[in-house]
Amino acid sequence: MAPPPQHPPPASGGRLLVLYASQTGHAEEAAGRVGREAERGGCPAVHVLSMDSFDPSRLPGERSVIFVVSTAGQGEPPDSMKGFWRYLLKKNLDAPWLQGLRYAVFGLGDSGYLQTYNVAAMKLRKRLSQLGAKSIIGIGLGDEQASSGYEKALGPWVLSLWKSLNRTNPSLLPRIPDIINPNLNNLGDAKVEVIYYSSDDTPQDSTVSDSKKLIGRARSMHPALKFHNDGEPQYMLKMVTNERLTKKDSERDVRHFELEDPSSAVRYQVGDALEILPSQNPSAVNAFIKRCNLDPDCYITIRAKGGDEVSKGSPVNGLMDCIKLKTFVALTMDVASASPGRYFYEIMSYFATVQHEKERLHCFATTEDEKERLQKKRLQKERLEEFASPEGRDILYQYNHKEGRTVLEVLEDFPWVHMPFEWLVQLTPPLKKRAFSVSSSPLAHPNQIHLTVSVVSWLATPFRRKHGLCSTWLAGLNPNEETRVPCWIHLGSLPPPDSSTPLVLIGPGTGCAPFRAFVEERAAQRARQPTAQILFFFGCRNEDDDFLHRDFWSHHAQDNRVLSLKEGGGFFAAFSRDQPEKVYVQHKIREQSARVLNMLCSGAAVYVAGSSTKMPADVRAALEEVVRKKGGDAGWLRKLERAGKYNTETWS
């Protein structure tokens, strides 16, 4: 269930609204920086909101809005922007609608995907101008391929933004020097409040035994998750099958998972995604708590500051609103897989400074050990200050982002720095759900959901191997154990087709996951009534090593089945590394051009899923070539898109 829209107070000339649309968290982090700098510059009221928590019909009442937008998939807006974007595209909106609005847009993209680089931000800027809004400065384009990531473009762009605002509206942003040279000695308070309870007040364990309620309570308490939370998990599913699809000695580990609710049906449809809240390694959670000198067994309530006053030991709705600190960390704070943002280092440098000053004023080093300890503290303070400075941007990007440092690793690298828990709650990236394409049909498995998942692992440096949190956790689950997987069903980007519509499916690698569901669904429908055929193109590196679901495709490609060649369908696999020249799915599409064209002429819908690198563009080019060679209209695929019959689901 979507959260209710959040609204700042009525618009005035003295308020700045920052709206962000983030897919991986980078746009949210960048928007947070914009908001903090505006506050430092004396802006009387700054509101930083996700686009999906703001009612776009209220946009004409705003005066100054900063948009920070990432680009997802093949030039698509992030999920949190889709509703906002649909509203802006309404036909009844025209040029005068936003004539009183001044705006600026900063985009986050990856120039490695040149055709879709920052498309979402550029489309937003164009549409705002069409609706009568006036730009404050030109669009900013952050590039993940840059030496210091999007920060390289963000710093100069946002400084130009403040200077322009200061010239046109000095009452909105009066103190530019405070932004350029922030005084971290005057930090202010965290935006999070932690209320601790005495042992006499805390609830018994029996009150928190329901896992679904416990997850919902913890995540609704976290300020960063509160308005982007679906509440309690819809399902707590049990792993009943954990099968490796690739060879054991293959460099890729791809798994087939079957998750089950033994007591009831699981409501979903093909094309949906399953969102999973992963469990963090208990040893990592324990290490974080120990490093931060926290009491894992104490009970707490956490909320954003600015609400009603709550006295210690007197929660708003009774003791049921509190939670054990260790449970809160495990369910909401990503301490061992996500990298912290730049602001994390700024705050660390502040607390390193405070600690150093106390040592200097109140402690006189007399022994060599004490002198060495103080020297280490000074060096850590200087390094953190370098990370937080504009000059240290590239060094920080290498240390933090390129090498994949986690919050726990950063804290362990700077053992002399101790941040209060309220700051850790505010700055540690929230533990996010991971989404996977469903690879089963509810008609065939009413109480199960199947997934096809690549277990993520990579070398951040020659000596640092990193592992994907969720995929690694799932791969480690034993089907005989009672561990339950917290799950939510999420509407996917591939709409389920009608059984009478022929299908052309292209899904190399784990892109085959949703199409396994499509084939299984149509096979179940075919047992009851006639259905249209399916033409499926699959690709992998080697036939022997990573031919995912080989037996499944072979079974459904037999005569009288949905992938039957004799009935106009078919299954064609491209093995890119089994011969000297690379062979990909687009080559197989060209080889089978007559069969592809016949399907298109029969009213087929096209679905593409897989990596968002070159594959989607290469597949599209191959389909356009097939159509052109047979004298077809070059705009055929665009017509299919407008008719909702050319759909893509891609990921990086």
Q: What is the pLDDT of residue 92?
A: 92
Percent of the chain residues topping a pLDDT of 70? 90
312 pLDDT higher than 50: no
Q: What is the pLDDT of residue 148?
A: 82
Q: Is the distance from CB of 604 to CB of 615 less than 8 angstroms? A: no
418 pLDDT higher than 90: yes
Task: Give backbone dihedrals phi and psi of 220, rounded to 5 degrees, phi first.
Answer: -75, -15
315 pLDDT higher than 80: no
pLDDT category, 48, cuts 50, 70, 90? very high
Q: What is the pLDDT of residue 10?
A: 45
Q: What is the pLDDT of residue 281?
A: 96
611 pLDDT higher than 60: yes
Kindly state the tokens that stand for 503: 């299908």
31 CB-contact burial (10 Å; exposed 0-12 / middle 13-18 / buried 19+) = buried
Q: What is the pLDDT of residue 651?
A: 79
Helix (H) or strand (E) holding 437: strand 434-437
Q: What is the pLDDT of residue 13?
A: 55
Q: Is the distance from CB of 210 to CB of 481 less than 8 angstroms? A: no
Cβ atoms within 10 A of the Cβ of 95, count?
A: 11
In Å, the largest CA–CA distance within the chain is: 89
Nearest to 384 by CA among 416, 362, 406: 416
Nearest to 30 by CA among 165, 142, 120: 142
Average pLDDT of the residues in 257-279: 94
Question: What SS3 state is found at 217?
Answer: helix
Kindly state the tokens that stand for 234: 């819809």
The rounded distance, in Å, linking the Cα atoms of 371 and 537 is 67
The rounded distance, in Å, linking the Cα atoms of 312 and 197 is 7
pLDDT category, 541, cuts 50, 70, 90? very high
409 CB-contact burial (10 Å; exposed 0-12 / middle 13-18 / buried 19+) = middle
Q: What is the pLDDT of residue 310?
A: 34
Nearest to 618 by CA among 651, 645, 642, 583: 583
Average pLDDT of the residues in 337-350: 91
9 pLDDT higher than 60: no
| pLDDT tens-place string over residues 377-402 | 888 888 998 998 888 888 998 999 88
Angle at 22 between CA 17 and CA 27, to 5 degrees: 65
The rounded distance, in Å, linking the Cα atoms of 313 and 339 is 34
The rounded distance, in Å, linking the Cα atoms of 301 and 320 is 10
C-alpha distances (whole Å) from 182 to each of 307, 330, 345 are: 28, 34, 14
The rounded distance, in Å, linking the Cα atoms of 215 and 331 is 7
List % helix, strand, coil for the chain (3-state, nearest 5). Answer: 40, 20, 40
Q: Which residue has the tokens 């996951």?
A: 513
Secondary structure in 3-state letters for 310-368: CCCCCCCCCHHHCEEHHHHHHHHECCCCCCCCHHHHHHHHHHHHHHHHHHHHHCCCCCH
Cβ atoms within 10 A of the Cβ of 652, count?
A: 13
Average pLDDT of the residues in 309-331: 67
Q: What is the pLDDT of residue 274?
A: 97
Please give the model's pTM, rounded to 2 decimal places: 0.89
pLDDT category, 202, cuts 50, 70, 90? low
Q: Is the distance from CB of 387 to CB of 396 less than 8 angstroms? A: yes
Helix (H) or strand (E) holding 151: helix 151-168
What is the residue type of 131? Answer: L
Q: What is the pLDDT of residue 200?
A: 64
| pLDDT tens-place string over residues 222-259 | 988 876 666 899 999 999 999 999 998 888 999 999 99
Task: Give backbone dihedrals phi and psi of 510, rounded to 5 degrees, phi first.
Answer: -75, 0
Average pLDDT of the residues in 202-207: 50
Nearest to 427 by CA among 366, 359, 355, 347: 347
Higher pLDDT, 155 or 630: 155
| pLDDT tens-place string over residues 564-597 | 999 889 999 999 999 999 999 999 999 999 999 9
C-alpha distances (whole Å) from 647 to each of 405, 608, 626, 638 are: 36, 6, 18, 11
Radius of gyration of the chain (CA): 27
Task: Give backbone dihedrals phi and psi of 462, rounded to 5 degrees, phi first.
Answer: -55, -20
Q: Is the distance from CB of 134 to CB of 96 less than 8 angstroms? A: no
**Helices of type H across 54-150:** 79-88, 119-130
Average pLDDT of the residues in 146-172: 90
Nearest to 324 by CA among 191, 197, 484: 197
Q: Which residue has the tokens 């200097």?
A: 360
The alpha carbon of 85 is separated from its chain's Cα centroid by a whole number of angstroms, namely: 18
The rounded distance, in Å, linking the Cα atoms of 207 and 233 is 18
What is the residue type of 526? Answer: R
649 pairs with which residues across the strands?
A: 609
Secondary structure in 3-state letters for 405-431: CCHHHHHHHCCCCCCCHHHHHHHCCEC
Average pLDDT of the residues in 326-340: 96
The alpha carbon of 300 is separated from its chain's Cα centroid by a whole number of angstroms, namely: 28
Q: Is the distance from CB of 491 to CB of 435 less than 8 angstroms? A: no
162 pairs with which residues across the strands?
A: none
Nearest to 425 by CA among 301, 312, 282: 301
| pLDDT tens-place string over residues 81-115 | 999 999 999 989 988 999 999 999 999 988 877 77
Q: Is the distance from CB of 154 to CB of 108 less than 8 angstroms? A: no
Q: What is the pLDDT of residue 492?
A: 86
366 pLDDT higher than 80: no
pLDDT category, 311, cuts 50, 70, 90? very low
Helix (H) or strand (E) holding 300: strand 299-304
The rounded distance, in Å, linking the Cα atoms of 511 and 556 is 18
354 pLDDT higher than 60: no
**46 Cβ contact list (under 8 Å, min separation 6):** 15, 16, 18, 35, 38, 39
Kindly state the tokens that stand for 625: 């070539």
Nearest to 574 by CA among 562, 590, 563: 590
Q: What is the pLDDT of residue 208?
A: 42
What is the residue type of 419? Answer: M
What is the residue type of 246? Answer: T
Task: Give backbone dihedrals phi and psi of 141, rounded to 5 degrees, phi first.
Answer: -120, 105
**630 Cβ contact list (under 8 Å, min separation 6):** 593, 597
451 pLDDT higher than 50: yes
